[in-house]
Every structure is written in C-alpha cells, then in structure tokens.
Amino acid sequence: MTRIAALALLLAGLPLAPADAATTTTTWVVERTAPDPERLTVGGGAGVHTGEYAMAAVATADAEPDGALRSAEGVLYVNVAATSDPYVRTPVAGASCTGTPGVSEVCSEWFAGGGLAFAAWWDDPDFDRVFVVLRGAASSVEVTGRGWRLRRWSGETRIAGDDAVSAGVPFAGARAFQQASARGGASGSLALGQLPCDGVGLVGAGAGAAQLTGGAAPVLTTCASAAPAAAVATGATTWTLDGAAAGLADVPARLVVIDAKAR
C-alpha cells in the first residue's frame, strides 16, 4: 500500500531573500533507477517577494521506456502571495506534521510570513517519476531514498490562471473562477489543475467543481478533492480546467502543464 502525506507551510522569522533573487519557475523530475526502490521523500521550497507569489505543484507518473507518459496522479498544489520579502530554507525548515496522516491525506500548518515549503513521502512507491514544479525566489528540491535520482527537467512548463483575469491583477480578496487553459507539447504532456477554493494546502474556503480536459478522459475536481486533478496526454492537446468555483485564494495560478519529453 502506498502512503502519501504532504506538508505545506508559510514560514516566518527566516532570513530575507537577496534582493537580486529573481522569481523563476523551475521543474524537476525524480526518476526511478532501481526495480525495488525504498521509501522516497521529496522536499523543497521557495521564497516570495512583495507583490509576487510562490507555488509548488507535485505529481507522480508512470512512463514508457521512450519517455511517453501512461498515467499521472496529483499529490500537491499549494501557493501563497506575500506582502514582505522573507526567504525560506528547504526542504521543510525542520517542521513536521502532527500525528500520522492517513492514506492520500494532506496535513498543513500555516504561519504569518511569506515563503513556501513542502514535503511528500511514500513508504512503498509504485510509480516511475515524480514531477515537481516550483515558482518563487531561490527555489530548491531535495530527495532521499535509495533507487531514485533528481535532475532538472528541460521540457517546457506553463502556468495558467483564469482566462478571464489578467495575470497582472493584484492578489487580494476572494476570487471567482470559470476557466483556465494552456497548450500541451507535441509529444505529450502532464497537467495539474486546482480550484481557487484550495482544498489542498492553503487556508481558505470556497465551493465549486470543474473538469480537467485534454487527456484521454475528463477528470473531475471539486473543493472537497483531497488532491489536485491530474491527467496525461500522449500527443498535442489543449488542456482546459472548466467549471465554476469561488474561494479565498489570492493567487491566480490554476493550471500547470509539463511537456512529457525534454527538448
């Protein structure tokens, strides 16, 4: 049985990020290198500058020998906007969940401040890859576990917000959602979608439902979903998260698309 747990934090009292630490989006892949790998832990984090936001999106995937993706499962999709310039140490700054979460549950704690850290672990991993997308300042990822390797992913990653909302609007107040869309790569892609109610990892409230389309079959997600919607496409496609939801999330990112093959 595979156990999944994750921790997302807003951390305070940490050193300030260097003023020249740019906000970037970076994608990593953790790949299986042994037929019987041991317990896997993936952790990471990023700082966030004033007027910006940080986010982390994590998904597991199974792949063919040629790199084509067969399936995916969403693990974590968290984000936060900042009003100051703190910097967060990684992977989780010594924080840990209280108690033992159940299978596929997520535990979270939030503190005043700005910055994002996460950890996800599996006692008996049965997948081939873990994709990690981090947006923020001075982001980093760490992996522990025999039979796994971490490397930067060189394929393109796209982050999309609500199609009806400009990416430049201030992060403030309740947010309504209708649709987000982004293209996938010609050789296939993986998509993760999350509603602004942020049922995973962000303090907030809301209601709604949407479908993630662009893969072999639509994937339904609601504000009660325990993990973000995830799917793969084996060829060129347009991914769409389409529905109606409203919540307290103040970050525009709703859809993440990772091209299946490196350029």
Q: Is the pTM of this model over 0.85?
A: no
pLDDT in tens, 21-63: 788 899 999 999 998 888 899 988 887 777 777 888 999 999 9
- Kindly give the pairing relationship between strand 175-183 and strand 238-247: antiparallel
Going by C-alpha positions, the residue among 72, 51, 57, 50 that lies closest to residue 25 is: 57
* HSE-up of residue 179 (Cα within 13 Å, Cβ side): 9
Quote the CA–CA distance of 239 and 27 in Å, as a whole number: 19
- CA torsion 222-224-227-229 (nearest 10°) is -10
Going by C-alpha positions, the residue among 237, 238, 220 that lies closest to residue 229 is: 220
Q: Which residues contact 162 (CB under 8 A, 6 or more apart)?
A: 175, 176, 177, 178, 179, 180, 252, 254
Alpha helices, H only, the chain: none
Going by C-alpha positions, the residue among 82, 73, 110 that lies closest to residue 16 is: 82
Tell me what the mean pLDDT of segment 204-221 comes to: 88
| pLDDT attached to residue 69 | 92
| pLDDT attached to residue 18 | 52
pLDDT in tens, 118-170: 888 898 899 999 999 998 888 889 999 999 999 999 899 999 986 554 444 44
Q: List, as one string, the DSSP characters of 58-77.
A: EEEEEE-TTS-EEEEEEEEE
Going by C-alpha positions, the residue among 195, 197, 200, 191 that lies closest to residue 243 is: 195
User: What's the distance, CA 121 to chain centroid?
Assistant: 15
Please measure the distance between the N-terminal and C-terminal CA atoms of the chain and give it in whole angstroms: 35
| Percentage above 70 pLDDT, the chain | 68
| pLDDT attached to residue 162 | 63
